Amino acid sequence: MKGVVYCGPGEVRVRDLPMPVVRDPRDVVVRVTRTAICGTDLHPYRGELPGFPAGTVLGHEFAGVVQETGAGSPFAVGDRVFASDVIACGRCRHCERGRHYQCASVSLFGYADVVGAPVDGGQAEYVRVPFADVVLAAIPVGVSDEQAVFVGDVLTTAYGAVRDAGVTAGDTVAVVGGGPVGLLGALCARQAGASRIVVADREPVRRERARSMGFEAVPPAQLSTTVRGGADRVIEAVGTDAALLTALEVTGPAACVAVAGAHHSTAMPFPTGLAFARELTIRFSVGNPIRLRAEVLALVAAGELDPVDVVSHRFALDDAAHAYREFDQRIAFKVMMHAS
- The H-assigned helical ranges of the chain are 42-45, 93-96, 132-135, 145-151, 154-165, 180-191, 204-212, 223-226, 241-249, 272-277, 289-301, 320-328
Relative to beta strand 86-87, strand 107-108 is antiparallel
How far is residue 208 CA from its own chain's centroid? 22
pLDDT at 340: 73
pLDDT at 92: 97
Length of the chain: 340
pLDDT at 286: 85
Average pLDDT, the chain: 97
pLDDT at 266: 86
2-139+306-338 under CATH 3.40.50.1100, yes or no:
no
Contact present, 209 and 333 (Cβ < 8 Å):
yes
Q: Give SS3 for 256.
A: strand
Which parts of the chain have pLDDT scores under 50?
none
Selection from 91, 118, 114 nearest residue 104 by Cα: 91
Q: How far apart are CA 334 and CA 262, in angstroms?
A: 17
Secondary element (H or E) of residue 172: strand 172-176
**Domain map of the chain by residue range?**
2-139+306-338, 156-284
Q: How far apart are CA 143 and CA 152, in angstroms?
A: 13
pLDDT at 227: 98
Rg of the chain over CA atoms, in angstroms?
20
Residues 6+ apart with CB under 8 A from 118: 53, 56, 107, 111, 112
Give the pLDDT confidence of 264-314 residue by residue, as tens digits: 888 899 999 999 999 999 999 888 999 999 999 999 999 999 999 999 999
Contact present, 217 and 211 (Cβ < 8 Å):
yes
Contact present, 257 and 275 (Cβ < 8 Å):
no
Selection from 60, 134, 70 nearest residue 103 by Cα: 134
Give the pLDDT confidence of 118-128 residue by residue, as tens digits: 999 999 999 99
Residues 6+ apart with CB under 8 A from 269: 241, 245
pLDDT at 55: 97
pLDDT at 265: 83
pTM of the model: 0.95
**With the CA atoms of 201, 207, 213 and 216 taken in that order, what torsion angle do they form, in degrees rounded to the nearest 10?**
80
pLDDT at 18: 98
SS3 of 84-147: the string is CCEECCCCCHHHHCCCHHHCCCCEECCCCCCCCCCCCCCCECEEEECCHHHHEEECCCCCCHHH
Q: Which amino acid is at 71?
A: A
pLDDT at 19: 98
How far is residue 36 CA from its own chain's centroid? 10
The domain made up of 156-284 has a fold known as: Rossmann fold (3.40.50)
Q: How far apart are CA 79 and CA 171, in angstroms?
A: 40
